[in-house]
Structure 1
Amino acid sequence: MPTERALVVGASGGIGAALAAELEGRGAAVVRLSRSADGLDVTDEASVERHLAALDAPFDLVFVATGALVIDGNRPEKSLKQLDPQALTDQFRLNALGPALVLKHALRLMPRDRRGVFAALSARVGSIGDNRLGGWYSYRTAKAALNQLIHGAAVEVARTHRHAILACLHPGTVATRFTAGYPDHDKVTPEQAAARLIEVCEGLAPDQSGGFFDYAGREIPW
């Protein structure tokens, strides 16, 4: 189902900017929010509440495209010896708590009488069942926590918004600053990733709410 009005949080990032542009190219009215352009800090509830309270409902799509792999120079751990409490806390705040706070305050912006989608960027490495390599403790843990938060929220939201769809989406490896330090991975452009993610969002049904999907709409194990 085509999107008519969308909110993109994290719209100054590589994927976020591409999502906003792709949605506009498809005829949607897009509201963009980001830290660099608007001062929105998704880890600060007062900031989230203030920015979202200024918006008028409804939005067919709320897409949270925030996140980071490296925070304050702390790169993904290769072993337990590198596990740092502050790095783990920072990952959790940005990659799990941030999108959850957006959902908490964006729920009033989602329609009750028709279909509406809330999507957050997750990552396949957040899958516990698919973890065959170990390592990357903080980032993996934060994304696994995000998946649980969105999955649990979907159960509750269905009671008041029976047409709502909440989803965690893995975009693939996208050529942005986020992945610049990982040249050996096959990457797609932000524009390609955005088009694929929007197709997934527009193709999901309410009975799939709370799910974890990749860029092709395939379900990823928890």
Structure 2
Amino acid sequence: MELMGRLGYTEFVAHGGDWGGVITTILGGRFPEHVIGIHTTVAQPPPDLATDGLTAVERTWVEESRDFWSHRAAYAKQQAARPQTIGYSLVDSPVGLLAWILDKFAEWTDTEDSPFETICRDSVLDNVTLYWLTGTGASAARIYYESHGGVNAFDPGLRVDVPSSISTYPRDIERWPRAWAQERFRRIVRWREPEAGGHFPSLEVPASFIKDLQEGLAAVVAASRS
């Protein structure tokens, strides 16, 4: 909010995925007088919701999302508990940094054998090089520590009342039912489940992602004026 104010914007829309989705949700929840609406690929619900009434597909989403945070999120738990330990490796070895980041591209994309099926090597190298040349591999990891860990980053009581557009990609690391999302996002004006894409849709399916983003933000702007 302070940054947008310095740039001269008193009202704006926000979009984000991954941590950007967390930040976007917090902006919409805490600053409704400034945030017109949000678009996000991350719709984390409040904790401890019951699965009663969910469809079989929605139950699968919940099971897979919980499995991810329980068994495949060691990176997040390491960075939440001891970020500086892994931080030395991330700023000392370009191979170590590449392996750490490429592992996420390999597992979190909508591909069969290799992330390079949808993301070119240069894009991955650009991503890793940005961390390497700026020496931010360690500092970037500290958001997990400062937020006490991935899925628990939200205030359980946070609610978003501004218009929200949510897109859930089929191979993302976590997917939550709309009924659950509505417990946090009180005014969902657009809900989409694209046919392709994983955790990095802007890199994996850029054309359809841009169209989805444009339509999502248009929907929240229109809803804010109605």
TM-score, length of structure 2 as denominator length: 0.32
Q: Where is the helix percentage greater, Structure 1 or Structure 2?
A: 2
Where relative contact order (Cα < 8 A, 6+ residues apart) is larger, the structure is 2
> TM-score w.r.t. structure 1 length?
0.32
Greater share of residues in strand:
1
